Homo-oligomer: A and B are copies of this chain.
Amino acid sequence: MAKVLAYLGPPGTFTEAAAIRYDGSAQLMPLMSIFAVGAAVRSGMAQEGMVPIENSLEGSVNDTLDLLINERALCLRYELAMPIEHCLLVRPGTKAADIQAVYSHPQALGQCRSFIERCFPKAQVIAAMSTVAAVEEVKSSSGISAAIAPERAAHLHGMEILARGIQESPNNMTRFVVLSTQDHPPTGEDKTSLCFSFADDKAGLLYSVMGEFALRGINLTKVESRPTKESLGRYIFLVDLEGHREDPLVKEALNGVGKMVSNLRLFGSYPRWRTSLTNQ
């Protein structure tokens, strides 16, 4: 039986494209929220789940970080990074000059702001719940309109692509992660993700933690502090490091860190993504 791979849907999103790239033979299960993907994996309804974790323009995906921080049964098993290219989709035969409204999720509208202002200065800009919901609005609307959405949504919904790569920055990349109940065995080129917090905020505690890694030559590829939901002044620290949690030096460092912090949660180890590599 094929593995069930849940993902943040609906079909046609960039996350679906990442899921297909990761495992084209899996049985894909689109779900409507990142938390639903987490629940599907935790409960065994899906073996794995694909969610976005970080975008080069927008920063971290908060729901995914919250899920990892709070759902102790979930691990990271894989990561992959993909370029995000927004397209302008219309009903087949629509002419650009006739477009009176542009629909999309506010984030995509923001990323394509100067394209819209230059090409459609008089169009109404209308928010949708997702890029795919925007396509559905355009399909069913009585007026002549366009949606900003991924290329794949055009194929799935029988829409025509009028323009490609309309986002501001050519370097719009999203990092996706695969959630599972087990992380990945060592491959020799791995990353490990974790989070921790402190019972009090004495000067230098974070510095001591980072010393455990620095003194062993372990490179940190990401350090992020995130306000706890309890209050603005207290933080949870999220760290990505190079190496596998079973590497002797990483193991030593994590042991040391565990003694300094009040909550250490290991999200797991997984192969480090190399953009040039053909995976799977």
Contact = CB atoms under 8 A, between A and B. Distances in A.
Contacts of A56: 227-229, 231-232
Contact of A59 (B62, B128, B202, B213): B62
A230 B171 contact: yes
A60 B61 CA distance: 11
Contact of A171 (B60, B226, B229): B229
B207 A213 contact: yes
A152 interface: no
Contact of A227 (B59, B211, B219): B59
A187 interface: no
Nearest to A168: B229
A263 interface: no
A232 B60 contact: no
Interface residues on A, range: 35 or more
A127 B129 contact: yes
B127 A106 contact: yes
Interface string A194-220: 000000011110111011011001111
Contacts of A60: 59
B106 A171 contact: no
Contacts of A222: 225, 235
A233 interface: yes
Contacts of A232: 54, 56, 81, 173, 175
A158 to B, nearest CB: 23
A221 B233 contact: yes
B225 A201 contact: no
A45 interface: no
A25 interface: no
Interface string A2-46: 000000000000000000000000000000000000000000000
Given A59-B62, A129-B127, A224-B225, A203 B214 contact: yes
14 contacts: A59-B60, A59-B227, A105-B106, A106-B129, A126-B129, A171-B229, A203-B213, A203-B214, A203-B220, A207-B211, A207-B214, A208-B214, A222-B235, A224-B226
Given A59-B59, A204-B214, A207-B207, 9 more contacts: A56-B227, A59-B226, A127-B133, A169-B229, A171-B229, A201-B219, A203-B218, A206-B210, A223-B225
